[in-house]
Structure 1
Amino acid sequence: MKKLFTTLSNIWKIEDLRVRILNTLLFLLVYRVGSFITLPGVNANVLDNNAREGLLGLLNMFAGGSFSRASIFALGVMPYISASIVVQLLGIAVPTFQKMQKEGESGRKKLNQITRYLTVAITLLQGVGYVRTQIPHDAQMLSEPLFSISSMFILTAGTLFVMWLGEKITDKGIGNGISLIIMVGIIAQLPGAFIAELDSRLAGAGIIPFIVELIALFFVVIFTILIVQGVRKIPVQYAKKIVGNKQYGGVRQYIPLKVNAAGVMPIIFAQALMFIPMSIGQFFPGAQGPVLAALTNYTSPAYNITFAVLIIAFTFFYTAITVNPVQMSDDMKKNGGFVPGIKPGKVTGDYIDAVISKITLPGSIFLAIIAIMPSLAIVLGVNSNFAHFYGGTSLLILVGVVLDTLQQIESHLLMRHYDGLMKTGRLRGRTPVSGGTTGPVL
């Protein structure tokens, strides 16, 4: 406990770090206040604020409840996330975008601008869909088309303002701004879900099952941290070079290959595909058979098995397009580095590719287990709101963002010659996965 208070005191002593933390808290407070401001022309008393399930429930969690409250921030930063993913995929498939990625700072600015323009377009489209499907007609106090047009522009402005807040947090605060905004939205749902689960247990089976749930949640979080931080180190030896009277190189370093190099992207892609059967069932009610019904029930074995298989497949796919063993081998060869016992060049590339394939399989299986944990928790009787924290995208984002932010704080402490946050070793943050060169860290 004394170590904790000493560390907090050291954090407060560093003026730059103190200002950054206060700026971050201020920007997040502005975001949370704005999430409770209802769209003009909407009667908040008529809105259905009940928790949504499936993909809509996930969007509502990421938006911190703004989605169900018809807030000016109802769409949150998800349009920006979508735009960042699109730009990243274009950077893999389109040569023009690949060229911009290699242009350094100027290319990064161009990709940033394209991402912002694409965010506006996506937000406008999602704004129309949100007004038409999520706001009941009896809650609208303005006549059409004035209500739809004004709401669409206000939602777009709200998303752009949230995006600006995220960029300001990154520049003036601590941590990745967009990721912190998503994390705050998720954490905002935790107290209500915790109280609801506690009330239901006290009214039913008692406090013992609730304590067991908390213990299980603790171990799930530990397991998730292991997946996020797990790496396979490949030793790299650099040749010695004599320049003048000085010797360069001759040291051994490591290439840290992450067990889960794809982050949360496979879960996001798989959830998007699993939303297709639900959409078919809504648009064509007569076509719903037993298979379609099973795939729309996210607690059914068919849904979870399909979901897990898609996550494993997308993990291999996303790792293959984001981690390039050939380029890693070429860069290593140019810098005079080699893997001990492995010939430089193509043989080294094949070796790195084989290692990535070996660690990606268990990583993808563990990721699939984390993704289906909320469904298993619901089947075992956990409240659906509280079950979201037992795994899936929300838990991965929470763990990743917290580790990343703590790693930045520790870097500030070590630069000023203070002790880090851990007694031994250093806290490892995450590797940015999504959003290409400009997108958010998820």
Structure 2
Amino acid sequence: MDKKLNLNFKNISMNFSEIKNRLLFLIFALIIFRLGSFIPVPGIDTASLSKLLRNQQGTIVEMLNMFSGGSLNRASIFSLGIMPYISSSIMIQLLTFIYPTWKDLKKEGEAGREKINQYTKYLTVFLSIIQAVGISLSLPNMPDMKVLIFKLDLCFYLTTIVSLVTGTIFLMWIGDLITEYGLGNGISVIIFAGIMANLPIAVFHTLEALRLNNLNILLLIFTVILIFLIIYFVVFIEKSQRKIIIHYSNRQQNNRMHFSQNIAHLPLKINMSGVIPAIFASSVILFPTTIASWIKENNHSSLYLLNFICDNLQPGTFLYIFLYTISIIFFCFFYTNLAFDSRETSDNLKRSGAFIQGIRPGEHTSNYIRKIMFRLTFINSIYIVFICLIPELIHFLTHVPFYFGGTSLLIVVVVIIDLITQLQTLMVSRQYKSSFRRANLNLKK
């Protein structure tokens, strides 16, 4: 009995030791990320750039600055953030869907995933170079260029491009290390840290408005309660699944056919597309506004089209909300079809001797699963539209700044759920390993 207790305490201590090491590594990596976000690119006056970017509210620049934890606002070496990696990942997924040779890579197991990951990193470097060149060329065209850039020469362009590209590559490397030695998906954790870095500033501004009597305390309490209700709703949807009952029958063991039936479940998540539709929809809608505002500021143009885009594609306008809603719904269906192949799932079930009660294997099973996924995706699109537009509605009704909303809230909640799930998986896996070791020791005895 004492030996069993000692083994249990030893296993518990090993569990906490591994989790502690992973948590410490995660904290250390995030500290490096935050320190790097304050290292500026040489040759740029960060104070002048910060003043210029204050006029970019409601553009794609504001969204990139939020994801990078304010790095773009400080002209940091991490200004590009991890967005080039996200863009390249989506492009590679599109290629695996379009080209059969790339689609076969996904079926090669670990070797295929390593090749896809390698191609994704190459494309990330390429996109980072393009974006860094674009930023370095656009900086001299901004107002007050002489104040913004200390010395405009070839060295400035090379230094800016190398600094920004190196910063993105370093973040990609840190993300891989977090995935392997820390907790959660490293890329998602970095975006999560960037979003959460702006939270103290938002809380400070809210409390300052409350102190100056510019904000009603009852409205603030109502907003806080609403935030918790929305977070609960997001967690509920993210954990929700549609379980399809699967039957296994006619299994052969030791040259004998067994006719017993086993029942299992095929779980289908409601939010199969994650936060990608919200990010893509924001980028697509805000990109024309960003380009139009830059042309208008640099060339002092008063074209009707530029004025129309700048005035009617701002967050809160009717046209922006309408196009944003349509874009989210489109990307929900588009990305879900990329992430989940009903035909492939049907073929896997058929090969494993599984079937759905009352549905013929093959094409009929594929159509049945496709119908269910269509309904789930429709529910998911309404859910993401609601989460992304709720900040606009609250701000319109209460005039209270709602920081956690839309894409940022989805990312924060999903990352926290992933962290908790991985912690539970680590605990369970360690318990299974310890039980397996004890079983082996008892057999040897």
> What interval of TM-score do these two structures reach, taking the shorter chain for normalisation?
0.7 to 0.9
1:40 corresponds to which of 36, 39, 42: 42
1:18 corresponds to which of 14, 17, 20: 20
2:408 corresponds to which of 383, 390, 394: 394
CA distance in 2, matches of 1:248, 1:195: 67
Residues 118-157 of structure 1: per-residue CA shift (max 9 Å, x gap): 1111111111222344585212223312112111101111
Partner of 2:427: 413
CA distance in 2, matches of 1:334, 1:65: 50
2:150 pairs with 1:141: yes
Look up the equivalent residue of 2:409 and give its one-letter code: L
2:390 corresponds to which of 373, 381, 384: 373
Partner of 2:57: 53
1:193 corresponds to which of 188, 198, 202: 202
Q: CA RMSD in A?
A: 2.5
Look up the equivalent residue of 1:372 and give its one-letter code: L
Residues 299-322 of structure 1: per-residue CA shift (max 9 Å, x gap): 012211221122112212222233
2:241 pairs with 1:226: no
Residues 134 and 381 of structure 1: CA distance in aligned 2, closer, same or farther (over 3 Å): farther
Q: CA deviation at 1:242?
A: 4.1
2:219 pairs with 1:209: yes
Q: CA deviation at 1:208?
A: 1.9
2:79 pairs with 1:79: no
Partner of 1:67: 72
2:172 pairs with 1:168: no
1:273 corresponds to which of 284, 291, 295: 284
Q: Identity across aligned pairs (percent)?
A: 35
CA distance in 2, matches of 1:248, 1:113: 46
Look up the equivalent residue of 2:204 and give its one-letter code: I
CA distance in 1, matches of 2:42, 2:307: 43
Q: CA deviation at 1:186?
A: 0.4
1:332 corresponds to which of 345, 349, 366: 349
Task: Tell which structure's C-alpha radius of gyration is larger.
Answer: 2
2:130 pairs with 1:125: yes
Provide the TM-score with structure 2 as the length reference: 0.85
Partner of 2:273: 262
**Secondary structure of 2:108's match?**
coil
Partner of 1:438: none
**Secondary structure of 1:14's match?**
helix
Q: CA deviation at 1:79?
A: 1.0
Q: Is the CA contact (8 Å cut-off) linking 2:29 and 2:178 kept in structure 1?
A: yes
CA distance in 1, matches of 2:170, 2:108: 28
CA distance in 2, matches of 1:95, 1:285: 49
Q: CA deviation at 1:10?
A: 6.1
Residues 208-242 of structure 1: per-residue CA shift (max 9 Å, x gap): 21111111111111122122222111110111424
Q: Name the one with the larger helix percent.
A: 2
CA distance in 1, matches of 2:289, 2:302: 10
2:253 pairs with 1:243: yes
2:362 pairs with 1:345: yes
Q: Is the CA contact (8 Å cut-off) linking 2:93 and 2:338 kept in structure 1?
A: no
Residues 157 and 290 of structure 1: CA distance in aligned 2, closer, same or farther (over 3 Å): closer
**Secondary structure of 1:66's match?**
coil
Q: Is the CA contact (8 Å cut-off) linking 1:237 and 1:252 kept in structure 2?
A: yes
Look up the equivalent residue of 2:119 and give its one-letter code: I
Q: Is the CA contact (8 Å cut-off) linking 1:239 and 1:336 kept in structure 2?
A: yes
Look up the equivalent residue of 1:222 and give its one-letter code: Y
Q: CA deviation at 1:246?
A: 10
Q: Which of 407-416 and 329-338 deviates more? A: 407-416
CA distance in 1, matches of 2:316, 2:373: 32
Q: Is the CA contact (8 Å cut-off) linking 1:294 and 1:302 kept in structure 2?
A: no
**Secondary structure of 1:395's match?**
helix
Partner of 1:286: 303
Residues 209 and 68 of structure 1: CA distance in aligned 2, closer, same or farther (over 3 Å): same
Residues 156-211 of structure 1: per-residue CA shift (max 9 Å, x gap): 11110111101111111111111101100000011111111222133224322111
Gaps of 5+ in 1: 1-8, 419-442
Q: CA deviation at 1:370?
A: 1.0
Q: Is the CA contact (8 Å cut-off) linking 1:299 and 1:378 kept in structure 2?
A: no
1:151 corresponds to which of 160, 163, 167: 160
**Secondary structure of 1:47's match?**
helix
Q: Is the CA contact (8 Å cut-off) linking 1:17 and 1:409 kept in structure 2?
A: yes
Look up the equivalent residue of 1:165 and give its one-letter code: I
CA distance in 2, matches of 1:280, 1:59: 15
CA distance in 1, matches of 2:174, 2:259: 44
Q: Is the CA contact (8 Å cut-off) linking 1:75 and 1:155 kept in structure 2?
A: yes
Gaps of 5+ in 2: 1-10, 296-300, 433-445
Residues 34 and 108 of structure 1: CA distance in aligned 2, closer, same or farther (over 3 Å): same
CA distance in 2, matches of 1:142, 1:249: 79
Residues 405 and 28 of structure 1: CA distance in aligned 2, closer, same or farther (over 3 Å): same
Residues 19-75 of structure 1: per-residue CA shift (max 9 Å, x gap): 111111111111111111111222334332565423211111110110100011111
CA distance in 1, matches of 2:338, 2:119: 21
Partner of 1:310: 327
Q: Is the CA contact (8 Å cut-off) linking 2:248 and 2:353 kept in structure 1?
A: yes
CA distance in 2, matches of 1:11, 1:68: 44
CA distance in 2, matches of 1:249, 1:91: 39
CA distance in 2, matches of 1:212, 1:358: 33
Look up the equivalent residue of 1:17 and give its one-letter code: I
Look up the equivalent residue of 1:218 and give its one-letter code: F
Q: Is the CA contact (8 Å cut-off) linking 2:46 and 2:73 kept in structure 1?
A: no
Look up the equivalent residue of 1:401 and give its one-letter code: V
CA distance in 1, matches of 2:305, 2:409: 32
Q: Which of 293-302 and 70-79 deviates more? A: 293-302
Look up the equivalent residue of 2:66 and give its one-letter code: M
Aligned pairs, how many? 407
Residues 67-119 of structure 1: per-residue CA shift (max 9 Å, x gap): 10001111111111111111111111122322322222332222222212211
Q: Is the CA contact (8 Å cut-off) linking 1:311 and 1:367 kept in structure 2?
A: yes
CA distance in 2, matches of 1:236, 1:15: 39
